[in-house]
A and B are shown apart, each in its own frame.
Chain A
Amino acid sequence: MVLRRWAARIVDHKATAYVLLCVILAVLLFPIFWTFITSFKSLEETFHWPPTYFPHRFTFEAYFGGRRGILTGSPVPIYLMNSLIISLTTSFVVTAAGILTAYGLVRYPFKGSKAALVLFLLTRLIPPIALLLPFYLILRYLGLINTRTGVIFYTIYLCYPLVVWMLKSFFEAFPGELIDAALVDGASRLGALLRVVIPTMATGISAVAIIAFLWTWNEFLAPFIFINSDVLKPITVGIYYFVGDELTYWNTLAAAGVLAIIPGIIFFIVAQRWIVKGLTAGMGKM
């Protein structure tokens, strides 16, 4: 009993939460720290044992080292551009389509619109990997294998259902009187959506767009299977071929990793609050 009382007092103490958080954060952030550190080492130093926790010789050679640097001597800039094209297009298409669908379902309900919304959530539970084969066949039939369009075709499927679900939770919280007022003032239904709803919900909508962007950016399997030519690969696939059979250039691999995680990190630091809101929207209720 005494032991328990002591334990309870320690766990209950305010400082315990901070200490625990710091320990967990140290563990969670160490891999990111280590990637950054490795990317600033020279190739020889990455093969040093024991490993150095801060580069002896701080160098940018993994990034700009001529033929060996990923930005100067490898197709990584092209990979990044492909990632950007695929993610931006997907994000734009899904958000635009999602706004119309979610708004329509929330604002103009019909018999079965509730079920339709649940359907959107349920599709999220379908393992995308199980649909890889049919998508491959469809894309081959359409002649879209080995094109960025083909990958976008697939990533739309990946993001669209959940985007609708997140937007739906946002729209449900939107005061209907504002829309009614706009309609009374002579705005069309679409006009009310474009001029009243979207501007007021701009932060939430952009958070949803960011989430779709990141999901697409992080996608590996679909482009890995659908794309063979080097100039069309996104960064996630491009990075895969950095691992050599005999010698892996860990510093350049880490540098490519840094470039692959930077957009996500920036987005999370800038818009953390809204991204969190978008992702948890409607989840607690389920």
Chain B
Amino acid sequence: MSLPGLLLLLLWVGVPLVIVVVISFYRYDFIRPTKFYGFGNYIKLFHDRVFWLAVKNTFIFSLGSTFITFLFGFTSAWCLSRIDRGGTFFRTLMMLPWAVPLIVSGFIWGWMFNPTYGVINDILLKLGAIKAPLDFTADPSLAMFSVILADAWTRIPFLTILVLAGLERIPAELYEAARIDGADIFHELRHISIPMVKGPLLTGLLITSVFSFRSIDAIFSMTQGGPAKATYVLGLYTVDNIYRFLNFGRAGAISVMLLLFCSLIASAYVYFLLKEERWS
């Protein structure tokens, strides 16, 4: 019964995977005749300043997005696990950013961060946090910060429910026993809550970081990689090579590098997960 399904997976994932690896070894740019190129695309890529800039930006973007997702996701999950009333109500509202397509999220945050008419400048001014409106689109680090927010925003709900599911599985007796031994809330967090949700938490962080690593929608609708390539990431570089420069060989090489980076991140997490399991 499952054979056709497996075949489907093979066709839909295996074949494209092989094609992209093969193409990365070809010179395929619609200018010169297509021919086998060996590691030519890779060598050129490694000497390419834009490529390394994109790698750096991608790591900053992915780390930033994962960190913000973790901060909000863990706090919300912890709060949700501690309330007795209105759980469904709060949880449903918490989920809503998830429903927003990333490309739309980019527009929404872009509009809120708008330097001349944006509501965020107004709020910050009213709170007295800043003296004059900030130009979020012109300052490189502010631009990076704003695309990270737009990306993390839609990822928070997923981490929240994953961690929440883990927190709810911790038996209440553990906390009670800790209380009898004189533990306060910080001890509980450090020695019970966090260690006990490590599995789901690491899984959630893995998925968040791998997903944000190759996500470009929010950047696409907010900054298009600017200002001055300050938010230019690997995914954007891939799309540009397919769509604008029509350099398929190079696009293939970047795609393979993206794949390698993602597997690297994934294997780091899997290593920690397995280590966790051995000790517990």
Contact = CB atoms under 8 A, between A and B. Distances in A.
Given A133-B20, A283-B200, A46 B12 contact: no
A134 B186 contact: no
A170 interface: no
B107 A253 contact: yes
A28 B153 contact: yes
A125 B266 contact: yes
B186 A100 contact: no
Interface core residue of A51, A130, A269 (most chain B CB under 10 Å): A130
B79 A243 contact: no
A284 B101 contact: no
Chain B CB within 10 Å, residue with most, of A14, A131, A263? A131
A250 B204 CA distance: 35
Given A31-B97, A105-B2, A253-B107, A17 B83 contact: yes
A114 B1 CA distance: 15
Contacts of B156: 28
A231 interface: no
A100 B1 contact: yes
A138 B161 contact: no
Given A113-B2, A220-B101, A156 B221 contact: no
A254 interface: yes
Given A126-B259, A265-B99, A220 B217 contact: yes
A8 B182 CA distance: 12
B100 interface: yes
Interface residues of A, number: 95
B107 A257 contact: yes
B280 interface: no
Given A131-B17, A138-B16, A261 B100 contact: yes
A160 B2 CA distance: 13
A66 to B, nearest CB: 23
Interface in A138-165: 138, 156-157, 160-161, 164
A132 B238 CA distance: 9
B98 A268 contact: yes
B53 interface: no
Contacts of A12: 184-185
Contact of B239 (A98, A132, A239): A132
A272 B107 contact: no
Contact of A239 (B103, B116, B238): B103
Contact of B6 (A101, A134, A218): A101
Given A119-B9, A284-B166, A31 B92 contact: no
A194 interface: no
Nearest to A153: B12
A225 interface: yes
Contact of A8 (B186, B210, B251): B186
B63 interface: no
Nearest to A105: B2
A217 B84 CA distance: 35
Identify the interface centre among B72, B103, B213: most chain A CB within 10 Å of its CB.
B103
B228 interface: no
B4 interface: yes
Interface stretch (A19-27, A54-62, A198-206): A19-27
B221 to A, nearest CB: 7
Contacts of B97: 28-29, 31-32
Given A11-B186, A21-B76, A104-B2, A157 B102 contact: no
A8 B273 CA distance: 30
B95 A272 contact: yes
A264 interface: yes
Contact of A130 (B6, B92, B214): B214
Given A132-B242, A220-B101, A284-B166, A8 B16 contact: no
Given A29-B93, A32-B96, A157-B16, 14 more contacts: A4-B184, A21-B79, A31-B97, A49-B117, A105-B5, A127-B235, A130-B259, A134-B23, A136-B242, A220-B217, A257-B104, A263-B99, A264-B100, A284-B203
Interface of B: 1-6, 8-9, 12-13, 15-17, 19-20, 23, 72, 75-76, 78-80, 82-84, 88, 90-105, 107-109, 111-112, 116-119, 122, 125, 153, 156, 158, 161-162, 165-166, 169, 184-186, 199-200, 203-204, 210, 213-214, 216-217, 220-221, 235, 238-239, 242-243, 248, 251-252, 255-256, 258-259, 262-263, 266, 273
